Amino acid sequence: MTSLVQSPVPSRIQSVGAVSAQRVGFAEPLPLKSGAVLPAFELAFETYGSLNAAKDNAILVCHALSGHHHVAGHYADNPNNIGWWDNIVGPGRPFDTDRFFIVGLNNLGGCHGSTGPASSNPLTGKPWGADFPVVTVEDWVASQARLADHLGIDAWAAVIGGSLGGMQALQWTMSFPERIRNSLVIAAAPRLSAENIAFNDVARQAIITDPDFHGGHFYEHGVRPMRGLRLARMLGHITYLSDDQMAEKFGRRVKPGAGSYGFDVEFEIESYLRYQGDKFAGVFDANTYLRMTKALDYFDPAAAFENDLAAALASARAKFLVVSFTTDWRFSPARSREIVNALVKNGQDVSYAEIASAHGHDSFLMDEPHYHAVIEAYLRRVLP
Amino acid sequence: MTNIGNALGRGDFDVIASWVQPGERVLDLGCGDGSLLKLLIESRGARGYGIELENAATLAALKNGINVIQSNLEQGLAGFGDRTFDHVVLSRTLQTVRHTEKILGEMLRVGREAVISFPNFAYWKNRMAVMAGRMPVSEDLPYEWFDTPNLRFFTILDFEALCQKMSLAIRDRQVLDDAGSLVTEEHNFLGSVAVFRLGRD
C-alpha cells in the first residue's frame, strides 16, 4: 500500500554515529586502597561531542559490572557493535552531544582495553592473572581523575552512572568534591546488603572452582574458565530482571520436545539464561569479573564514619540526582532513599525520582520515556 | 507581604512566604510543580525540598529548578530526622491525606513549625451550594464530587478543634476569601481558604 502521508522531517534526535576508541597511558604509579601500587596503567576511553572553551561541559559516564568505554555510537568497521547506553547519548538525546562532551572509559582491571588481569605484568612479562591487584571504587575514581587531567577537565559538569557506575558517581563527590558539580546516581546503593554480597560470592565461587581457572593463571594454560563464568552470568542475570518481567517475557513457555523428563533445555527461561551465559563467557575475563564483584562488595563510604552515610557525604559539594526503579530488587528504591535521606540531613541539593518500570535492575539501561525525561530535565539545569 | 503568590492565583502562598525567614529550611509536602518553593527561595532566600508523588509534577518541579523528592508523603517523612526543617508546608493537600493526625504529628516531628493551608468547607458560597442541593465547586474546591482527590471535608472550626485535641499550638492563622483578600471577621463563614502556622509548646 502506498502511503499518501508525507514522510516526517528527519528527527534531529539521533545516535552519535561512528565513533572510535582511544587509549592513554599513565606512567606515574597509582597507589591502591588495598596497599598495592600499580606501577603504570592504560585506560581505554571514548568521547562524544566537543569540550567547550570554558571546559565546563564534560560528563563522565561510569560503567557497571560488565560495561566498558563503548557507551554510544558504533564502530565504522562494525556497525552492529553499538554502545551499551546508546539510547541516551546523541544530538537531542538526554546526554546531548550538541551541548555536552561525553566521556566513557573502561575501568582499571577491566577486559576491554584498559590495564587489567589479562594485561602483561611488567615484572614478569606474563599476564597479571591472579596477581592483578583488587581495585576498589575509590581506586577507579582516582584513575578517572588522571583521565580528567589528561583531557584538560578541571571539574566534571556531571558524573553519571547506573548500579556500580552510580557508586562511582557517588564516590567522586567524596574523593574530589571540587572536581564534580553534579552527581547522577542511578539504580545504586550506598553499600551492598548481605544478600547482594551472597549473590556475588556464589558467582565468584562458580568461577574459582572451575578446573580451568587455575588459580587465576589460566592464560598460560591456554584455557578459560567458561563454565564458571557462564554460571556467574546466569546467576547475575536473574538478579537484573524482575519476577513480573520474567513472567511476561517467558512465563512457563517451553521449547518443542519439552517434557522428556530429562535435563536438557525445556523452559524458555532456561534457554535464555544459557544463551546469555554463553555469550558472556565467550568475551568476558574471569579475573575481571571477580574484581568487579569485589569492588561492589567493598564499597561502603559510611564505614569510615561510624556507618553514618550523612557524615561520609558531608564533604560533597556537588548537587545530586538520585534515580531508582520500582521493580529493582537488587538495589531497591529503599537503598536509593538511604542516599537521599543522608543528603537531606546535610541540607545538600538533591532531587530524587522513583521510576515505575517493569525491567528490574536493568531498567536503568531502558528507553523509558519518564526516566529519560527526568535525566533530560536535570541536565538542562546543569547546562541549559 | 508580597503579591507574587496572588498573581499565581494562590493567595495562601503570600501568607506562607511572610512566615518564612531568610535562610530557613523548608519542606513542601505535595509540592506540585514547585511554584511555592520557588517563590520561597527567590523572594525569601529559603532553602528546601519538595515531596511529590506524580510523575508530571515531579518533572515540572525539576524543570523549575527545585530539589524535588518523588515519594508519597508518609514514606517521604519517615526517612527524615527530628527537627530537620524550620517549616514543613502542606498547602491545600491535608484534605487529600487519609491519615490526618499521623501526618500532622510527623510534620511537627521533622519540622519546628507546620504550615497548613486548606479549603474551608464552611465558606458561605459552599454552604449556599449545599443548601441548593449540590456539592460545592469553586476556585478553591475545583473538583466535581466524582473526580475529587479530596478525602476529607472540614471547616476552620473543625481544624481548630483537632489542633486542640492534639495539643498543637496555633501560632498564626490567616484566612482568605475566594478573591485572595484577607478576611478579618467571621472567618469560618467568609473565608474560602485558611492558612495555619502550628507548633508545639
Mean pLDDT value of segment A194-223:
97
Enter the C-alpha cell of residue A212. Answer: 580451568
| pLDDT tens digits, one per residue of A116-151 | 999 999 889 999 999 999 999 999 999 999 999 999
Check pLDDT > 60 for residue B3.
no
- Predicted confidence at residue A7, as pLDDT, reads 47
- Considering only CB atoms, A373 lies closest to which of B59, B67, B79, namely B59
| Model ipTM value | 0.92
- Predicted confidence at residue B12, as pLDDT, reads 87
pLDDT band at B7 (very low <50, low <70, confident <90, very high): low
Mutate to test the interface with B, among A320, A324, A352 (most CBs of B within 10 A): A352
CA pair distance B115, B16, nearest whole angstrom: 7
Check pLDDT > 70 for residue A12.
no
- Please indicate whether residue A38 or residue B6 has the higher confidence score (pLDDT): A38
Question: Model's pTM, two decimal places?
Answer: 0.94
* Cβ atoms A136, A298 nearer than 8 A: yes
- Predicted confidence at residue A201, as pLDDT, reads 97
Check pLDDT > 70 for residue A54.
yes
- Predicted confidence at residue A309, as pLDDT, reads 98
- Considering only CB atoms, A353 lies closest to which of B63, B70, B84, namely B70
Mean pLDDT value of segment A16-36:
97
- Considering only CB atoms, A351 lies closest to which of B55, B67, B81, namely B67
Residue A256 contacts B, CB cutoff 8 Å: no
| pLDDT tens digits, one per residue of B175-194 | 999 999 999 999 999 999 99
CA pair distance A232, A204, nearest whole angstrom: 7
| pLDDT tens digits, one per residue of B106-129 | 999 999 999 999 999 999 999 999
- Predicted confidence at residue A2, as pLDDT, reads 42
- Predicted confidence at residue A260, as pLDDT, reads 84
Secondary structure letter of residue A127 according to DSSP: B
Check pLDDT > 90 for residue A191.
yes
- Predicted confidence at residue B9, as pLDDT, reads 60
* Cβ atoms B35, B89 nearer than 8 A: no
B67 to chain A: closest CA residue: A351
Check pLDDT > 60 for residue A218.
yes
Check pLDDT > 70 for residue B84.
yes
Closest CA to A233 of A241, A244, A242, A243: A241
pLDDT band at B4 (very low <50, low <70, confident <90, very high): low
CA pair distance A377, A270, nearest whole angstrom: 40
CA pair distance A318, A80, nearest whole angstrom: 37
Distances (CA, A) of A167 to A181, A340, A347: 16, 14, 21
CA pair distance A174, B197, nearest whole angstrom: 38
A337: which chain B residues are within 8 Å (Cβ-Cβ)?
71, 75, 79
A372 to chain B: closest CA residue: B59
Residue B85 contacts A, CB cutoff 8 Å: no
A373: which chain B residues are within 8 Å (Cβ-Cβ)?
59
- Predicted confidence at residue A13, as pLDDT, reads 77
Check pLDDT > 70 for residue B150.
yes
Neighbours of A187 (CB within 10 A): 31
Mean pLDDT value of segment A49-58:
97
B67: which chain A residues are within 8 Å (Cβ-Cβ)?
349-351
Choice among A66, A114, A119, A163 that is catalytic? A163
Has A328 been annotated as catalytic? yes
Spell out the domains of chain B, with CATH numbers in brackets: 4-199 (3.40.50.150)
For chain A, give the mean pLDDT. Answer: 95
- Predicted confidence at residue A85, as pLDDT, reads 97
How far off is chain B from A94, nearest CA to CA, in Å?
A: 14
Has A56 been annotated as catalytic? no
Check pLDDT > 90 for residue B138.
no
CA pair distance A351, A367, nearest whole angstrom: 20
Region of poorest pLDDT, from A31-35, B43-47, B137-141: B137-141
Check pLDDT > 80 for residue B55.
yes
Contact B59 A370 (CB under 8 A): yes
